[in-house]
Structure 1
Amino acid sequence: MQRQTLNGPWELQQAGQDQRFEATVPGCVHTDLLAAGAIDEPFYRDNELRLLWIGEADWVYRRSFEVDAALLEHEAVRLRCHGLDTLATVRLNGDVIGRTENMYRTWEFDVKSHLQPGENHIEIQFDSALNYVHQREQAEKVLPAWGVGHHKLNGGGWIRKQPSNFGWDWGPMLLTCGIWRDIELIAFDTARLNDVLILQDHHTPGQVGLSVQVGVEQLDAAASLNAVSIVRFDGEVVAEASAPVSDGTSEIALTIADPKLWWPNGLGEQPLYEVEVRLIDAADTQLDSQSKNIGLRTLKLDRHPDEWGESFQFVVNGVPFFAKGANWIPADTFVTRLTPVDYRRLLVDAVAANMNMLRVWGGGIYEADAFYDVCDELGICVWQDFMFACATYPAFDSDYMANVKAEAEDNVRRIRHHPSLALWCGNNELEQGLVGDEWTDKTMSWDDYSRLYDDLLADVATTLDPQTDYWPSSPHTPVGDRRDFNNPDSGDAHLWSVWHGREPFEWYRTCDHRFNSEFGFQSFPEPATTATYTEPKDRNITSFVMEHHQRSGIGNSTIIHYMLDWFRLPTSFDNTLWLSQILQGMGIKYAVEHWRRAMPRGMGTLYWQINDCWQVASWSSLDYFGRWKALHYMARHFYAPLLLSAVEDLDQGTVAIHLTNDHLQAQSGQINWKLIDLNGAIVRDGSIDATIDAQKSQLIETLDLSTQLAEHGPRNLLLWLGLEQDGSVVASNLVTFVRPKHLELPDPQIAARVEDDEDGISVWLEVQHPALWTWVTLPGVDARYSDNFVHLLPGQPVEIMLSNLPNDLTPAEIQQRIEVHSLVDTYA
């Protein structure tokens, strides 16, 4: 096998125009125009509105390249395009060699007869996806979709292109095109590998059996071929076997002794085994090879009848576990800008928040290999949607269905070996109101829906990846009427009655669903991020630019509605941004703590969403630059393996103390609690010895505080809880008995002391009076903090470690520049 990359410098031209620009492949038209200085920064202020024309135009990429005569001596020479976005006509030396209509597929064209030794010319024209879908709508029908008009362009259902490229309620309408993944020439003789499926057998104790099923494309049907599989762990060969190729297939059986099992984050290690497959001819010449990293594990979706209905829980290596995580969207509007470093940074931050699962949402892309590789390394399980979201699709069109089938086959084959892969899911939210008895101006028919999601995708997933479960939609109710899409007794749920229905945060405590795969609340990015897309005159949340970077039609009004319900009116633009983050974190904390207390009835929470694709007000916990919002810091605690939480009953004057344990071992410790007034004086305190079994949640004790609440008043008291193990507080929580806006908090008199020792630079925080939601910033520095938005009490100093600091920044300079704020600073 010989390969020649065609990545690198290309030339870009708008069809019908003379001007040409330097371009880079992989890439897209927007990033190339931006690099050439031909357009302004698309994310700045409202520049997006002046760049919509790019998506309405046709674009041409071209380059010249040299081909050695030796490459053309191979029996087969192919042009392999790993991603063309989307409607492409490919010409080689003036000849049309292929057309494409799906950005998610890998396209391959036979080009041997079109190439020549020496210089060759390739040209790829991309037709406007927007013009195409409008033509389909005019010629055939408008496909119903949600959100069209306010934040989304029409017609995305007609084309196999990233749905959120047309706009979403958190993303811009910047319709890309281009060679978005690698492009290369491949040349080979006799045969090549075209499929490798690795199945695992865990039935025999002390070993794991592997069945390596190999697909071969043979140019010479009479050739005698063998497939060899070599398994390595830590560089050492632990198994090797071979089998002959017959009728284009081979199956190799291997046994791994003393297997090291792969576990999700928090449950164990993530050892990876390399499985290499070689294709050998009769002369023992290697014709081709592939290598895949796998983890030895079983990972299944367990659904069985139980006392509440039907379970919905993931089980790894026979152990059920509570899924803790979030939904993942494309991490940049221009996904070609994302590097392995970007993926690792975001996924490391997911692990830092104690997450063990991410849902790759169906309105984006099947992610890059680097994403899944890092998930494998870090133990982040992946719920993988197929790319269908919040719209209807022409399942009545046979060409469309064939295109989707090829797309699904490509991506199932590419992703299936990853140990992080937990589930295939057909679509996002179609069953939540976009399907009816027949096609209307609001729905697609159940028959066509079923043809695509119950039949086609289910068949591809279960045939090509028989060891990973398939789920037709999210949300979905598998028992009874599937139109009852958020049934609490079975299936998964998207619970949006707080954000979209303005139910109070307390509403979450009325929900006892089996698996909560979407729920969320918005916040603004912090001032440093907001400054990157605004001018000073824009810095009011009702300005045109700020509202342009708020794609939810109800967004700002909803944030303010809840903000004024819980907090005092903030005194400045910056304080509004920070307070929105505290509000967001508090709301999601309220939900997650309740659902973790409900374990094992409920066995998962994936909040919407972990990341952003541009600078925007959104539901994310990490903003576009990866800066942690308050929610992400709070997630470190409410997703921690040991969760100490409380349920207050204001009518009875009681507080129920709960302990939740995700560890695979029983845990014990001492729960210390103290009821304090707003000056920090202890009104009452106590300690409770607590022991909890592995993977359990239980009520530890109910405190009767009615006497103290009656005497001091609920507006004047706070309850602090701390779980202590081996002299260290490993979990804590704070209970207020009224909305924080009604607390008459004094100036906490925060003292910040910067220290530098062998562990690094840290800041110690101490207070004279309670300080709620205290956060540290270092203006002008993108520092990382080990914790933030913490509650401070007198006599309980808190250390926050600082990292990602400039090498020339001294502790003394940090002491001068550091800023510390708490809740009272947002209104005082």
Structure 2
Amino acid sequence: MKLFERSLNGEWQLRPAGGGKTMRGNVPGDVSYDAFLNGEKPDYRAGDNYKLYADLVQSDFEYSRELTVGRELLDCDDVVLQCDGIDTFSEIFVNGVSVGKTDDMFMQYKFSVKAALREGKNEIRILLRSTLKEMEKFENDRYVSIFNEKRIFVRKAQCHFGWDWAPNLPGYGVWQGVSLYGENKYRMRDIAFFTRRDGSVRAEITWSFSDYFDERAKDDEAVLEIFGDESLTLPVLGCKDKLCGKKSVLNFHIPNVRLWWPNGYGKQEFYYARVQLMREGKALDTAVRRFAVREIELDQSAYDAHSNICRLKVNGAPVFSKGSNWVPADCFAGTLDENRYETLLELARRANFNMLRVWGGGYYEKEVFYDKCDEKGIMIWQDFMFSCCDIPYDSFEFIEKITEESENVFARLRAHACIALICGGNELKGTLDPTEEPVYGLPFVDYFLRGIAQKWFPDLPYVNQSPFGFTEVANDLQNGDTHTNCYEEAIIGGDMAKYRGVLAKNRAAFFSECAVLGPCRYRSLKKFMPAEKLWPLNDLYTERFVSNPYSPCPLTFAERELLTARQLFGAVNNAREFCHKGMQAHYEILKSEIEHARAQRFCGGFMNWMYNDIWPTGTWSVVDYYLEPKSAYYAMREAFRPLHAFFTKETGGFRVNVVNDTMREAAGTLTLCGKRLGGEILWREQKFVRVGTANIAFFPMLAGRERADYWTAEFAAEGEIIKSVYFPNLWKLPFQSDYTYEVAETNGGYFVDIRARAFARAVSLDVAKENARVWYSENFFDLEAGETRRVFLETSETLRAEDIRVSDFTKLPEE
């Protein structure tokens, strides 16, 4: 129990170490961002302004503040200064006395400060040392580490030193909260729950003392009560036990247990535990913890003579993992607040995501991130923080640091139901090319990190890296997970018209990274690109959209996007057309990749690279830095529908697929049609289809059907009609813009009814109101001639009819 706890978040004083101009600082925050807020630097997000921050990241700074301490706090057995996250190298002083140092961005630090405090006014000072200057102390004469050869020695977000989607801008600061509190000798250090789907639970309570060596504690008891909600009024059950050493283990069974399920498979149910340390009828310490009951395993059983399944089972049910790769949501970690997390994660939930991978080149996220994933049913594939490098595992000091860091972090993370799988890191050396030698670190991820994961997450699966597999080729398409896409192969071949042929040959057991490029919306582009640099592509595009120096494709990312847009949709003459056609290409290709993966019986999941942006750019993400969903976001939402009917091109021809990821059987009528854009039906067929839970039914298409302009698949089941549109000859057709729409206000938002007179391609809705938060029931969809679609705009904003804009592929949107 924390006694007399007080937050020290808020305004601090910031100045260069050793003296200089004092500015307002913020905790949590970042030195560079605070300099921007104080007008000392221009906006790092615009143009190439980030280069003007080089002097800041090469300098030392200090944050300081005063606080008043009362006698009641000093009368506690100890007083703790808790720093939830400092990025990265620092020394902390209380009234001029050094109380501790930090050298790891990922760790929570606790410093005993009672001896340094005094009653009344006190000063706390945090001296932050430049990460780049500290890095100069390291030498790297043998380890491979892409983008920056010394970054592997620094326990900080590796992408802060530049990546093929991030700037080289290694800011630093107090990136998480700071608090001060008292504590007594007899208390709980940690509480963990290990659960089974039958309701069996094991609670492990770690104490700050041992009754073996303390006569006063010999009759102490641990008392535990379980409640069904956070009101803590009606206990479901209770149990107690005498202490025995520094850890108590209490086993119990919850009757009629309510389980935690991933998004789309069921509810996210929680229980609340009240734990008390009792001595002679008095509670010396009390703690309340939320936990969920769920059981997760990784099924890697044989699929056929050559392939293995790679699929999670949650509570015994097979789950197709749907989601994306999460990267830090800002260059400066201290700037991220709860609202930004909420928006990004709610967008993920609404897109039918049930998984995000916290990528190994970022950082272990803030507590609020994992709390919200718990509540939204978003499973977390959690990487250890290693990426695209060797690991210096032959250094004893490095091993000690990783051990300390992992125990510090995982003691916190294991409280979260969302954590589903632990992974040793991302694309370690030798992953994509088994001929690379020497390779440092494979035994480290195979054995050492596996042991750490087993200690803290004994009930969860562990994989040694991503991608992983059973053979020496970690990126093996026959088993394990895979980093692959067909987009890049088509780009390298220089002919996007062959894309579907490339895709038809691709198969994998699990796609954990499928990278497809697409620009941002035009209005986002204008926010960070100066007007004179908007068109044509130029050196600033290369800086902001970046490129991959390790790729066999010589084109920059912006050049790849332009090539794709031109080959699929014709001429691109300006920045507006670049964004418009490039986003549509992103939509079509990513949707195709997902549907191709879902059509494979042995495939267990798909995550694109990547979900969000670290700064304003226009490449891999489906939600941009300004929290604007790209059209590709809506492609993912459609392709990830729990019940979905769609077409794919296979090596032997086309086929139609009905996929059921719900927890119930789906049975109904499947109607297939081939049509002209004007609505003329060239062919039509119907069949009754029954698809079991977590299963797929598919049927080959007859030859010659591709003479139609487009195909439709409608599956009517359980009172719902699932519809998709497919263009067998890609998307370059003479579309028209001929539709009407009406807007009507309703409870919680607005209805927009759109009626198409001719085939309307990629109909999109937008709101002409800056920073309006609107959730669209669907967006960027096709409408057949004569079809009417009702779209719900969920919002608390007051909108006029003219604020709601409807557009389509034939028109450049007003942005």
TM-score normalised by structure 1 residue count: 0.91
Answering whether residue 162 of structure 2 is matched by residue 177 of structure 1, we say no
Aligned pairs for 1:352-371 within 5 A: 352-371=350-369
Counterpart secondary structure, 1:430: coil
Measure, in 1, the Cα distance between the counterparts of 2:432 and 2:758: 53
- Aligned residue among 536, 539, 543 for 2:538: 543
Alignment of 1:125-274 (within 5 A): 125-137=127-139, 141=141, 143-146=143-146, 148=147, 153-202=148-197, 208-218=199-209, 221-224=214-217, 225-234=220-229, 235=231, 236-274=234-272
1:120 is aligned to 122
Quick one: which of 790, 802, 816 aligns to 2:793?
802
CA distance in 1 between partners of 2:167 and 2:800 (Å): 40
Q: How far has the Cα of 1:728 moved from its partner?
A: 4.7
Question: Does structure 1 residue 668 correspond to structure 2 residue 667?
Answer: yes
Residue 92 of structure 2 corresponds to residue 86 of structure 1: no
Any stretches of 5+ residues in structure 2 without a counterpart? 549-555
Q: CA deviation at 1:12?
A: 1.0
In 2, the alpha carbon distance for the partners of 1:727 and 1:92 equals 66
Instruction: Tell me how far apart the structure 2 counterparts of residues 655 and 557 of structure 1 sit (CA, whole Å).
Output: 31
Partners of 1:112 and 1:418 lie apart in 2 by 32
- For structure 1, the 5+ residue unaligned runs are none
- Give CA-to-partner distance per residue, 1:604-658, whole Å, 9 cap, x none: 1111111112211121111112211111111111100111111357x99x74221
Query: Aligned in 2, Cα 1:10/1:757: closer, same or farther, shift over 3 Å?
Result: closer
Structure 1 match to 2:784: 793
* AA partner of residue 519 (structure 1): C
SS of 1:51's equivalent in the other structure is helix
Please, which of 540, 548, 552 is the counterpart of residue 547 of structure 2? 552
Closer/same/farther in 2, CA of residues 400 and 522 from structure 1, 3 Å limit:
same
Q: In structure 2, the residue corresponding to 1:373 is in which secondary structure?
A: helix
Contact 1:226–1:245 at 8 Å: present in 2 too? yes
Return the letter of the residue paired with 2:447: D
Distance 2:533 2:795 in 1: 30
- For 1:771, which of 741, 749, 760 is the aligned residue? 760
SS at match of 2:68: strand
2:734 matched to 1:744?
A: yes
For the pair 1:302 / 2:299, whether they are aligned, the reply is: yes
Structure 2 counterpart of 1:295, one-letter code: A
TM-superposed deviation, 1:124: 1.5
- TM-superposition CA deviations, 1:132-182 (whole Å, max 9, x none): 212212xx5364222x2xxxx552111101111112211222212121112
Sort the Cα spacing of 1:728 and 1:210 in 2 relative to 1 into closer, same or farther, 3 A: closer
Matched with 1:285 is 282
Aligned-partner SS, 1:11: strand
Query: Which position in structure 2 is the counterpart of 1:421?
Result: 419
Residues 1:505 and 2:507 aligned together: no
Q: Retained in 2: the 8 A contact 1:659–1:692?
A: yes
Q: Deviations over 1:330-356 (max 9, x none)?
A: 122222222223222211111111111
CA contact (8 A) 2:9 2:177 kept: yes
How many residue pairs match? The answer is: 788
Correspondence 1:458 to 2:457: no
Query: Is the contact made by 1:22 and 1:36 (CA closer than 8 Å) also made in structure 2?
Result: yes
Query: Whole-Å Cα distance in 1 between the matches of residues 604 and 431 of structure 2?
Result: 25
Verify the 8 A CA contact 1:54 1:175 in the aligned structure 2: no
SS at match of 2:578: helix
Name the CA distance, whole Å, in 2 between partners of 1:216 and 1:356.
35
Note if contact 1:84-1:103 (Cα within 8 Å) is conserved in structure 2.
yes
Distance 1:491 1:655 in 2: 27
SS in 1 for 2:566: helix
Counterpart of 1:21 in structure 2 is 23
CA contact (8 A) 1:134 1:154 kept: no
Instruction: State the Cα distance separating 1:674 from its structure 2 match.
Output: 2.5
Amino acid at match of 1:291: V
* Residue 805 of structure 1: how far off its partner (Å): 6.3
Matched, 1:334 2:327: no
Return the offset for 1:819.
Answer: 4.0
Counterpart for residue 397 of structure 2: 399
Q: Contact 1:405–1:456 at 8 Å: present in 2 too?
A: no
1:354-404 CA-partner distances (Å, limit 9, x unpaired): 111111111111111111111111111111111111123322221121111
CA contact (8 A) 2:86 2:176 kept: yes
Cα deviation for residue 246 of structure 1 reads: 2.5
Q: Secondary structure at the match of 2:701?
A: strand
- Contact 2:43 2:49 (C-alpha < 8 Å) held by counterparts: yes
Moved more, 510-519 or 526-535: 526-535
Structure 1 runs of 4+ with >6 Å offset: 434-437
Shift of 1:704: 4.4
Query: What is the letter of the counterpart of residue 488 of structure 1?
Result: L
Q: Contact (CA 8 Å) 1:356, 1:379: kept in 2 or not? A: yes
Q: CA deviation at 1:285?
A: 3.5
2:718 and 2:157 mapped to 1: Cα distance? 51
Superposed CA deviations along residues 178-228 of structure 1, whole A, max 9, x for unmatched, are 2111222232223221121212244xxxx5222211111129833313222
Q: TM-score, normalised by structure 2?
A: 0.92
8 Å CA contact retained: 2:429, 2:439: no
CA distance in 2, matches of 1:113, 1:648: 71
Take 2:308 and 2:369, find their aligned partners in 1: how far apart are those partners? 32
Write the letter of the residue equivalent to 1:797: T
CA distance in 2: counterparts of 1:616 and 1:223, whole angstroms:
62
Counterpart residue type for residue 732 of structure 1? K
Report deviation, 1:17.
4.1
Q: Percent identity?
A: 25
User: Aligned residue for 1:656?
Assistant: 655
Deviations 1:230-260 (Å, cap 9, x if unpaired)?
Answer: 2111233112222222222211222211101
CA RMSD of aligned residues (A): 2.4
Distance 1:799 1:547, change over 3 A: farther
What is the CA-CA distance between 1:532 and the residue it aligns to? 1.7
Q: CA deviation at 1:541?
A: 5.3
- Distance (whole Å) between structure 2 residues aligned to residue 184 and residue 800 of structure 1: 47
Aligned partner (choices 466, 469, 490) of residue 474 of structure 1? 466
